[in-house]
Structure 1
Amino acid sequence: MPVAVKVPEKQIAPAPVAKPVRKGARAGYVKRDVVVEKALKQKSVRRVQLPSGYKPSDKEEYMNDYQLEYFRQKLLSERDNLLTATQETINELKEEARDVGDEAERASRETENFFELRTRDRYRKLLYKIDKIIATIDDGTYGYCVDTGEEIGIKRLEGRPMAERTVDAQERWEHKKKQLGD
């Protein structure tokens, strides 16, 4: 008697839902530009092997797989550098002698430690931001302004791969933040 074997059905992942984008000084959230949304839905982000010495160019299709991989590697390198620096600080603080006879020397060390820990706290926040940016590479939204949906631009991303906004949108955001006192 033949035995029936159940073959698993092909699983189809649900289509990604467009994330709402904050629009400039307006309160509330709005949808991205239709053209950008359409391009993002069609794009499939895949890992590629970069050619030796690859540099992104404005002549290529914007945020193609090579550019995304280039910026992913750049961000991962920055992340590794921050983690290394943080570990070095932890090791230095562990090895530091706590028994200092001179009060002035102790105060000086405490001040140095305070500034070092503040710097490392900034690194911690930057690590969080890098992880968030890497996630945008994976979901296909990297390279597009979070406020306007416009292309940030290769030159800006080359100089600051963690940029989330175009230059104009960044200026507006900083001006608004300054006005609100944040």
Structure 2
Amino acid sequence: MNNREGASRDGMSPARPETSATTAAAMPRPPVRRAAPETDDSDLPDLTPEQLGELRQALEERRASLVANIDERQHAERDISREVGDEMDEANAEGATSLTSKLLERDVRVLAEIDRALAKMKEGSYGMCEGTGEPIGYRRLKLRPWARYSVAYQEQIEREERTGGGA
């Protein structure tokens, strides 16, 4: 084998070609272009009546579930606060109350978003991005029926928040 055939001069190890993997790895690569997320179909036409009905049903079911969860958590919070015991019991109760409060706040926040989405359905503006005015897209709404923004606009908001650009 000669040097052109991939062996080194000692015949033991292959010769390194000029464009080896290590050389290629050291060279900067162009940025990878990613396809648009699958959940962003904002260029599609408005939602069909069937899709709206399906989304309304999903919103109403989620709303009923949240109302039940909120009621349960409020009762659980009251029950925890009534228990009296030693310091360890109080610490455990405080932790449980804190967790219950956070979950309750989250549920109340989502409930408000659902109520907002249902109100937008009644006024005829449901499914439109509040930031751009463009359609949000059925697949995104199917995953999160109370979504207020398109995927692209939501990503922009999150980028601005991370970089401190948000007010």
Q: Give the structure-1-normalised TM-score.
A: 0.61
Between the aligned partners of 1:134 and 1:100, the Cα distance in structure 2 is 43
Give the match's secondary structure for 1:70: helix
Give the match's secondary structure for 2:82: coil
The answer to whether the aligner puts 1:121 opposite 2:110 as a matched pair is: no
Give the match's secondary structure for 1:163: coil
Between the aligned partners of 1:122 and 1:61, the Cα distance in structure 2 is 32
Q: Residues 171, 88 of structure 1: CA spacing in aligned structure 2 closer, same or farther, 3 A cutoff?
A: same
What is the Cα deviation at residue 162 of structure 1?
1.4
Between the aligned partners of 1:97 and 1:167, the Cα distance in structure 2 is 42
For residues 65-85 of structure 1, the C-alpha deviation after alignment (integer angstroms, 9 at most, x for no partner) is 222221111111111111111
> What RMSD over aligned residues (CA atoms) do the two structures have, in Å?
2.3
Q: 1:139 aligns with which of 85, 101, 123?
A: 123
The aligned counterpart of 1:68 is 52
Give the match's secondary structure for 2:147: coil
Moved more, 171-180 or 74-83: 171-180
Between the aligned partners of 1:62 and 1:136, the Cα distance in structure 2 is 14
List alignment gaps of at least 5 residues for structure 2: 1-43
Between the aligned partners of 1:97 and 1:135, the Cα distance in structure 2 is 36
Moved more, 64-73 or 124-133: 64-73
The answer to whether the aligner puts 1:98 opposite 2:85 as a matched pair is: no
- Alignment check: 8 A CA contact 2:127 2:141 kept: yes
**Percent of aligned positions that are identical:** 32
For residues 107-151 of structure 1, the C-alpha deviation after alignment (integer angstroms, 9 at most, x for no partner) is 111111111112101211111111111111111111121111222
Q: Residues 174, 63 of structure 1: CA spacing in aligned structure 2 closer, same or farther, 3 A cutoff?
A: same
Moved more, 60-69 or 73-82: 60-69
- Higher share in helix: 2
Between the aligned partners of 1:105 and 1:149, the Cα distance in structure 2 is 52
Give structure 1 regions of 4+ aligned residues with deviation exceeding 4 angstroms: none
Between the aligned partners of 1:104 and 1:181, the Cα distance in structure 2 is 42
The aligned counterpart of 1:49 is none
- Rg comparison, structure with higher value: 2
